[in-house]
Chain A
Amino acid sequence: MSELTPEQVKHHIKTYVLVFVSLAFLTIVTVGISYLEVSVGMGITLALIVASIKGSLVACYFMHLIDEKVTIYWTLIATVVAFLILIFVPLSAILDHTKI
């Protein structure tokens, strides 16, 4: 992001404002979902989908991941793989219990 022209920066600023409005709206949606009369599983799924959309907006636009260098993408791909393993370890324990 170091070689941006002032015009490009001004265009980015408009995007930041749009992303901010979207994040504020999605926060209200997240809270609204928690009051819905749905099953726990459905509630968790919906809340995590909204949180993932919010997280993606922050990462893509505020952290400029949408137009970053390949080096960073590779670093993050490795991180995501390790993160998923970490998250699925407890789930494998549940499967273990189910077998018993």
Chain B
Amino acid sequence: MDEQVLITMRDITKTFPGVVALNHAQLTLRKGEIHALMGENGAGKSTIIKCLTGVYERDDGEIKMDGVEGNIYNHSTQDAQKIGIATVYQEVNLCPNLCVAENLFIGREPKTKLGTVDWKTMFKMAQKLMDDLDITIDVTATLEHFSIAIQQMVAIARAVSMDCKVLILDEPTSSLDEKEVEKLFSLMRSLKQKGVGILFVTHFLEQVYEVCDRVTVMRNGKFVGEYNIDELPRLKLVAAMLGKDFDDLAAIKPEGATSTSDEVVLDAEGLSHKGTIKPFNFKIRKGEVVGVTGLLGSGRSEMVRCIYGADKAQSGTEIMHDKKLKINAPIDSIKSGMGFLPDDRKADGCIGDLSVRENIILALQARSGMFKRIPRAKQIEFADQFIDILKIKTASRETPLSQLSGGNQQKVILARWLCTHPDFLILDEPTRGIDIGTKTEFQKLVLKFASEGMSVVFISSEIEEMLRTCSRMCVMRDGEKVGEIEGEMTQESVMNAIAGGDKK
């Protein structure tokens, strides 16, 4: 392997109001390696990357790059791109209203002699690029028609097409299914062969061991260490990330919720939403944790959105606590005791500019109605209580939500629902893009809620996670509920159900 160093970052320091995000952090990236960057939420992974790519300007420290003279100061992502640093961020940063080809070539569109965009060439180039990456989509369709997974692939394709020396992937796999991850990995390996240095931020240990050569671990904005993957046992890696020995995952009972009563909390029959989900039945008992599993795009999210009324059901009935519900909008479901943590945190969950406090009390305020304002003292009490219970890392309760790290934002939104004391809580991918420590916390919380009598629907792309928490699973395929599995569940049996044994 070529051991030539591509990028060195030394003593990088960055502070935000009230928080030291990076404290003399460092990072070294070599040519032709896949380098994992790991750490818990708020460890400073995203921040150090943003300092490198020019999204943030660092307060202190030096960045050197092979082939570029002197200390590098990137003032914008364009600067970074010019010297060959391309990035694909955790959340897709493309224009959903433009077509795939435009997104691929925005800012560097092929031009005709007249100076107008040469659409024909652009579509051809785009098609070739997608073909090379083995992604079959119509490049002339607008991006918003595609799933987040495809959008992510487009973002990666865009980065790849820019002839980069350094490719930064900030949690690209958190919204991809297994096949797509495999595709991405083979792409990464071929780029590695070409001598590209890839910085790979992820929370998935498996993936690190599968593709990475080295790993840099960060904790609380500081550099913990750089290790060769072959020489680092998993437990040691986890311990390095958490700063303690850690076998908490095992502490969670694989049984899921232990005591379920026979009391049916919600009974939905024949619910459907045209174009997204075919009619389905769903029943949940008090204190039960039910999983919904299936591939991406199989209708998992659509099913729960339909139950909750985020997308209004076009047929069917819902009975909650023996009372027939009439749900026109989410507020109706909230009033009957439901809560819903949506999977797209950025678009459906966060109200970024509002403070943590305001975000936490929002649903409770909506339920009590506009004219019954929750007194400020009460709001503060709720906010402090949940910041404490959920261990939300924030400078203060008045900090805008957008300044928190992803996992902490998710906790705030969870707090928003816990505030309303729901009887029935839907969690759609609550653990996506957050670190294992917090993931475990979430799983424990779910089981705790259930033991207190709350009924929970839990959706996750990680089957393991659902096996640990759920006592029953609904299986979705192609926008249809195809069955339920109960009792003895293993990773294999669930995968079989998802794949649909009858097909092969």
| A and B bind | no
